[in-house]
Amino acid sequence: MFWYVQRGEHEIGPVGEDALRALVGTGQITPDTRLWHEGLSGWTAALELPGVLGPRAAAPLSSAAVDAPRFEPATPWRRYWARFIDITVGMFLVAMMTGAIRPSLIGHLNAAVGARWVVLVLLLPFALVIDAGIYRALGNTPGKAIAGIKVLTEDGRRLLSAPAYLGRNFGVYFFGLGLGLPLVSLFTLIYGYRRAAAGEMSTWDRLSASRVHALSGDTLRTWLAAGVYLLGATGVFALGLHTQHRESTYAAHHAPAPILQQELTQAANGVNAAAPKMIDRITRLDGAHVGPGSLFTYEYTLTNMRLHEISPVILATLRWRLSAHVRQAVCSGTALKPMLTTGTTVRFHYRDREGQSLVMVSVSSADCGI
């Protein structure tokens, strides 16, 4: 536990238990001396604090030792690896929430590199907001906990308030990450590293009156944070390669014969020639396409629906009822059975009037008992 001592208009601290014993032993703390530590509601006289004025070792302590800071500033590399971990965790959580709310946006992460970067840059500010929430809820962030560092007030006494830490994060966003723009962020990272290596405060720390303190002097924490980040990045990269391999293997094993491929393409062209076409009062056939492999997809729009206006319960009910209706209609009809008997899977994709995915129903020969 660390204590703070009030002397007139000045405050001394933080001081540890041994330092407090020394101050009591040398008479520098009297029954009327006001003290504070984390957990107390305010400054309290030493006489009112059990055990403070009890028998203690009276080793003298210099004023320099009493005024010594509790923590040392964190080194640049420790801070950088911790930040990379925190941003990755924040981006992962944002992607999960975005995928649940708007799945089509996450689909852009599988797009070309340019489109993928645009999505990541747009999600980065939200990841920093989540990072601030984690900091206030847990008292630290995952990356900084692994690296053995913590963002505190300049004197190392307290955590930052939620607005102060959020403001600090957006200071990092502008001045440290360069808005997430690759070329700009390269220069801002180099500039930030040089300032930190020279012992100068970063722009965002200066604006939020904070410092990144090292909770210990163990340099192994730097290597641990680097190892955790690189291991996670390698795992994500390996997972992406594995997914691509599975998709390519599936396409290779389920690729239709050339003649069947030609027939499916002709069928899709026939549908597209007549599209768009209203099937009923609210359902519009927008077209069809073939692939990957032996997959034939019909694209529909439900013109009276908007995804953001539908509650999760109603959406789940819609998906269940529409899936059952489509499968029953396909299996009891004759129009698509020739296609199903060739091993082709027929998919019906329904979107809302704004193009957001609502329901996707796939029907194969196994579903119809063919």
pLDDT in tens, 21-36: 777 877 778 888 888 8
Q: Which residue is listed with tokens 């964190």?
A: 74
Could you tell me if residue 241 is inside a domain? no
pLDDT of amino acid 16: 82
Range of the domain at 139: 72-236
pLDDT of amino acid 57: 36
Name the token pair of 12. Answer: 């001394």
Domain boundary among 236, 266, 300: 236
Domain boundary among 66, 95, 113: 66
Could you tell me if residue 249 is inside a domain? no
Residues 291 and 312 in one domain: yes
In sequence order, the 6+-apart residues with CB closer than 8 A to the CB of 191 are none
Could you tell me if residue 248 is inside a domain? no
Give the pLDDT mean for 114-128: 75
- Angle at which helix 113-138 crosses helix 162-171, to 10 degrees, equals 150
Give the pLDDT mean for 70-92: 86
Domain boundary among 236, 267, 288: 236
Q: Residue type for 176, please? A: G
Could you tell me if residue 212 is inside a domain? yes
Residues 351 and 212 in one domain: no
Residues 77 and 226 in one domain: yes
Instruction: Look at 103-107, 130-134, 280-284 and tell me which has the smallest mean pLDDT.
Output: 103-107
pLDDT of amino acid 59: 41
Instruction: Look at 202-216, 228-242, 301-315, 341-355 and tell me which has the smallest mean pLDDT.
Output: 228-242
> Into how many domains does the chain fold?
3
3 state DSSP class of 298: strand
Could you tell me if residue 301 is inside a domain? yes
Give the pLDDT mean for 118-146: 89
pLDDT of amino acid 258: 60
Q: Work out the pLDDT band at 70, boundaries 50, 70, 90.
A: low
Give the pLDDT mean for 46-52: 80
pLDDT of amino acid 106: 55
Give the pLDDT mean for 346-355: 93
Give the pLDDT mean for 325-353: 90
Residue 276 to residues 259, 273, 290, 328, 335: CA-CA distances in angstroms? Answer: 27, 8, 17, 24, 20
Residues 59 and 85 in one domain: no
Residues 273 and 225 in one domain: no
Residues 115 and 217 in one domain: yes
Distance (Å, whole) CA 271 – CA 324: 24
pLDDT of amino acid 52: 78
pLDDT of amino acid 227: 92
Residues 181 and 99 in one domain: yes
pLDDT of amino acid 108: 53
Distance (Å, whole) CA 246 – CA 252: 10
Name the token pair of 284. Answer: 């519009």
pLDDT of amino acid 67: 47
Average pLDDT of the chain to the nearest whole number: 82
Q: Work out the pLDDT band at 213, boundaries 50, 70, 90.
A: confident
Residues 271 and 231 in one domain: no
Residues 198 and 278 in one domain: no
What CATH number should be reported for the domain holding residue 283? 3.30.300.250
Residues 300 and 270 in one domain: yes
Residues 58 and 87 in one domain: no
In this model, does residue 167 exceed pLDDT 80? Answer: yes
**Pairwise pLDDT comparison (66 vs 167), residue with the higher score:** 167
Residues 103 and 166 in one domain: yes
pLDDT of amino acid 132: 93
pLDDT of amino acid 154: 80
pLDDT of amino acid 102: 65
Q: Work out the pLDDT band at 259, boundaries 50, 70, 90.
A: low
In this model, does residue 250 exceed pLDDT 60? Answer: no
